Structure 1
Amino acid sequence: MKILLQLTILTLCMLALPFFSAAQCNEYTKKECIPQLNPYTFNGQLNNAVLSQGETAELQLTFYKDQEYRVLVEGEDQLGKLHFQLFDTEYNLLYDNADEDHTKLWDFMVESTDDFIIRVLVPENKEKEELESGCVSILVGFRAFGSRTIFK
């Protein structure tokens, strides 16, 4: 009877673990990542996941004409510098942050409203024996074209 109770508790804990990880990832995104979009307005979509070294994630987003955008791809420190790319829906490469020393921010405009794909790759660390995992956030900020403040 005692073993059955222990197995039940262990099973419940294992089932609840993904929910705790998601909650921690949301908190990381809200506290550490959203402020980095400033002076752009956060679009309100929390796009995050717990990823391990060597994993890839993709997110399809719509970007609108006459808007300036800031894309932020941020991961917890143990993941290292993240590699992200922007593709059109036919997977033609439009931007690669490897060309800019793996920057986590990218500001741009689109000529017409269209869907794009952001691919995030978490690098493998062959020096570590254990596989590291952590929260990865993909956030988008926007502002109307021409709304930026110009200082003289």
Structure 2
Amino acid sequence: MNRINMTIKTTLLIICLFALPTLLAAQCNEYTKKECIPQLNPYTFNGQLNNAVLSEGETAELQLTFYKDQEYRILVEGENSLGKIQFQLYDTDYNLLYDNSDEDHTNLWDFMVESTDDFVIRVLIPNDEEKEKVESGCVSILVGFRAFGSRTIFK
């Protein structure tokens, strides 16, 4: 009887360990849909849910194609527990084109490209040395678009 209980407990533990990432991803998707997508307005959401659960000190990158004659809005939003999130835009040779830390860590940035090209968005979650526990949370990288108009143009 005792051996059966141990087998059941072990099986349940294994199931929980495999289910946890799925549950976290589902929660992150819900956060993105409810809290982040509305912030793209008046831009049209491109339909790509780009999100991840990240911890302090982690970095994530996403390569995207941006098309000529479209104005874009990048939104990088994270849960409050992560603090101010830094994001940067690079060309594919990793030349820095934009850094939101130069604009007080704004979570939105509007721009336009002169020609269709690929770019890399890098997200950096800062370390908070004052906290005893490392925090983690959902981070969303969303892109909205609309035709014409510009804030910043890259060649």
How does the TM-score come out when normalised to structure 1?
A: 0.95
Which residue of 85, 92, 105 maps to 1:82?
85
The reply on whether 1:101 has 2:104 as its aligned counterpart is: yes
Residue equivalent to 1:2: 5
Residue equivalent to 2:47: 44
Unaligned runs of 5+ in 1: 147-152
RMSD in angstroms over aligned alpha carbons? 0.5
Distance in 2, Cα, partners of 1:46 & 1:19:
15
Percent identity over the alignment? 78
Which residue of 57, 60, 70 maps to 1:57?
60
Distance in 2, Cα, partners of 1:117 & 1:35:
23
AA in 1 matched with 2:100 = N
Which residue of 70, 73, 83 maps to 1:70?
73
The reply on whether 1:124 has 2:101 as its aligned counterpart is: no
Q: What CA deviation, in whole Å up to 9, does each residue of 1:35-63 have, x standing for no partner?
A: 00000000000000000000000000000
Q: Flag as ranges the 4+ runs of structure 1 deviating above 2 A.
A: none
Partner-residue secondary structure (3-state), 1:60: strand
AA in 2 matched with 1:44 = G
1:72 positional shift: 0.2
* Number of aligned residues: 146
